[in-house]
Amino acid sequence: MIELKQPDPSQPAKNAGAASVVVRDGNLPEATMEEAAKVLVDHLFAPHDIEIAGVSYAVSYKLAIGPTGGDIVDVYQYDNDSIAFAIADISGKGPHAAVNAALIKFGLRAYSSEGLTPERVIRALDRLYLETNAFEKKDSFASVFFGIVDPTRRFMNYTNAGHEPVLVVARDGTPTVLVPTAPLVGVFDDQHHLFQQAFIYVEAGMLFIAATDGVTEARSPDGELFGMDRFVKVAVANRGLREPELAQAIMDAVLAFCEGDRRDDIAIVAVRFL
């Protein structure tokens, strides 16, 4: 239980008007978790108003339940002008998924800021996630795509930890799916040899498009999956649109396909290299 403990008026005032929160049995009530998780969600998705040299990007997302969810999208520039792209889908929904999503987002930033390669970043994140699960006695896992672009060398070095809907589209419309190079985060203990990375060449005009499985696993009323092939087809068909319209076109296609009956969070990021 939780109490709001007001200052004792008979005692000398150290902090006038101060109140303290007392946590009983080590748990916060669900309402408090919900409010805190909403604050986290406001910071889980890449901001739309920060310009980054060398790319133009947009994000579209819808949450399945209430104001919180377990998807993240991040586009982040480092001091050395490298740009990191992350998208992750955390198991579960609601406040606890949002908390784990925040752990992943800022864990990725912290490890990559130390100069680690995507392979080593995901290895370190896997260890952190496993230890957090063990300490908090929770069972959670996540699919994570994390890539770093060096704008001077025009390469993206990435690790794809079990995340399916990720592709690049060349200027001529040729799509390439970036298949997994590593297992899900939070599943395999001390199996770091399973985590590998890959490279792709990045050219001006190329698109990077990624989504969470709320896209590919959306179902029509008769039970058909939206699927990866349809995701690629819609992305390629709309590649000439500006990034916000491209991300929204994919979102609209999914919502039309499932006739608005969403059962999972949906996050989409569209990035065009300049």
DSSP 132-184: HHHHHT----EEEEEEEEETTTTEEEEEEES---EEEE-TTS-EEE---SB--
Residue range 135-146: average pLDDT?
92
Please check the confidence at residue 6 and state whether its pLDDT lies above 50. Answer: no
Q: 43-273 architecture in CATH? A: 4-Layer Sandwich (3.60)
What residues contact 47, with CB distance under 8 A and at least 6 apart?
none
**Amino acid making up residue 108:** L
Residue 241 has pLDDT above 90, yes or no: yes
Q: How confident is the model at residue 25 (pLDDT cuts 50, 70, 90)?
A: very low
Q: Which of 200, 198, 142 is nearest to 170 (CA)?
A: 200
Comparing 100 with 217, the larger pLDDT belongs to 217
Which range, of 37-46, 68-77, 233-242, averages the lowest pLDDT? 37-46
Position of tokens 């609209």? 252
Q: What are phi and psi of 270, to 5 degrees?
A: -125, 125
Cross-strand partners of 10: none
Identify which has the larger pLDDT, 50 or 38: 50
Q: Where are the alpha helices (DSSP H) in the chain?
A: 30-41, 94-113, 118-136, 213-216, 227-237, 243-257
pTM of the model: 0.82
**Which residues fall within 8 angstroms of residue 169, CB to CB, at 6 or more apart?**
175, 176, 206, 207, 209, 235, 236, 239
Question: Which residues lie below 8 Å from residue 213, measured CB to CB, with a gap of 6+?
Answer: 89, 143, 164, 165, 264
How many Å apart are CA 183 and CA 162, to the nearest integer? 5
| pLDDT over 80 (residue 274) | yes
Mean of pLDDT values over 81-88: 92
Which structure tokens are listed for 209? 């498009």
Name the band, by pLDDT with cuts 50, 70 and 90, for residue 158: very high
- Rounded Cα distance, 98 and 33, in Å: 10
β-partners of residue 266 are 62
State the DSSP code for 188. -
Share of the chain above pLDDT 90, in %: 54
